[in-house]
Each structure stands twice: as C-alpha cells, then as structure tokens.
Amino acid sequence: MTCSDRVVVAPSLLSADFGNLAQSAREAEAGGAEYLHFDVMDGSFVPNITFGMPVVRTLRPLSKLFFDVHLMIVQPAKYIQAFAEAGADGLTVHVEASPHLDRTLSVIRAHGMKAGVALNPGTSSEFLEYVLDKVDLVLIMTVNPGFGGQSFLPLMIPKIERVRALIEKANHPIHIEVDGGIDSTTAPHVVSAGATALVAGTSVYGYPNGVAEGIRILRESYSAER
C-alpha cells in the first residue's frame, strides 16, 4: 500500500453478486482495479451482516489484488490473526469500536498487514493525531456504514481536507480512502480534497456495461484533478 500519483480504485464486494463472488473478483482485477474491498459487518456494530474470513480465504488464491478488509464489527482485535491467516493484505478498524486503538494497529502490523483506521461521519479526525505513526490508511466514511447504495454526504469533503493536512505531518505514506456514494459525480470532489483510494460499489458492480467500463468511467471522472 503505497501512495502515488495514481488514485487506487477498490471495488466493493458488498455490491457484487454474492452468488458469484469469484467471478466478481476476477472482473475487478481484469478491469484494472488495484484493491478488492471487503466490507465485513456483524449486525451489531452496524445493522447488517455480510461475510468474514471464509470469503477472504476462498478468494485469495483467485486474485493478486490487494485485499482491503474493512471491519465494521465489535471487538475487531479478536480477529486480527484470523484475517491475516485468511489472506488479508490490509485490515481497517473503526475508532468507535477500538478502545485500545494504538495497540490494535500495532498488532495488525505485527501480523504483516497494513493498518487502517476508519472514521464514521460523526467522528472527529482528531483521533488520528495520536496514532499516525502506526497508520497506513485512513478510511473516511462518506455515508453512515451498514448498507450499500447510500447517498454521498457532502459535509465529508472538509473532513477529507482536514485529514490530508493532518497526515502531511506523518513521516511515511498514508492513503486517504473514501467509502460511500462514490461515483463519477462525487469522485472528482473527493480526489480534489485529497482522497487517494476510492471504494466503489454500485458505480462499478452495478454499471450497465460491465465492471471494466465502470472502473474506466470512474477514473476518467477524476483524472483532471490529478
């Protein structure tokens, strides 16, 4: 996970065909995506249940993409080793679910994964200041987590800008990832604000002309911002 001039596209399996996730993973890779995003939900931290380690483990041999795993669950620290063994490349935990955030991030890195911190729309970016030395990715939720297909929250644009200013102080690259309502309309705004990784669900897996075309249209929308 390195920050470069190229914005990372991370198709979200939450919007894929659950009956054919293997094909969905292949389509994302063939379409030029860099990441494959796994939204892991437990029905407790968020009001929905999705998938967990078995899906990551099953898809791992089928894809060379960076497996970007977002834990929307309570007690995420309990599952770090299991997701590492399943094949996750990066593990993102929520500030709101991680009372010992510094330690949790250290353990994620100790298991050979990149460490991410997620912020809900109502959570301040100030929490990041004290853990930047252990963070590889900041995930800014641009919708309230729990369901796909929600509308983008414009008030998150200033938050992206604040996080960008904050991570300039870090001595290592940190991606700013955004998740929620990302499409060809919203992508230029978040990239201009500082986002370097885009989680795209419906706009990629729901694109009428296929996943590859959805990724292409998304990239073209923000290309002028780079």
Separation between Cα atoms, residue 116 and residue 138, nearest integer Å = 6
Residue 38 φ/ψ, nearest 5 degrees: -110, 115
> How large is the C-alpha radius of gyration of the chain?
16
Catalytic residue among 89, 136, 179, 183: 179
Query: What residue has token string 């030395």?
Result: 133
Q: Where are the alpha helices (DSSP H) in the chain?
A: 21-30, 53-59, 80-86, 101-110, 156-167, 187-193, 202-205, 211-222
**Region of residue 146 (phi > 0: left; psi between -120 and 50: alpha; otherwise: beta):** left
- Catalytic, 183? Answer no
Active site residue 39: yes
Please pick, among 39, 68, 89, 136, the residue that the annotation labels catalytic.
39
Active-site residues, by number, are 39, 179
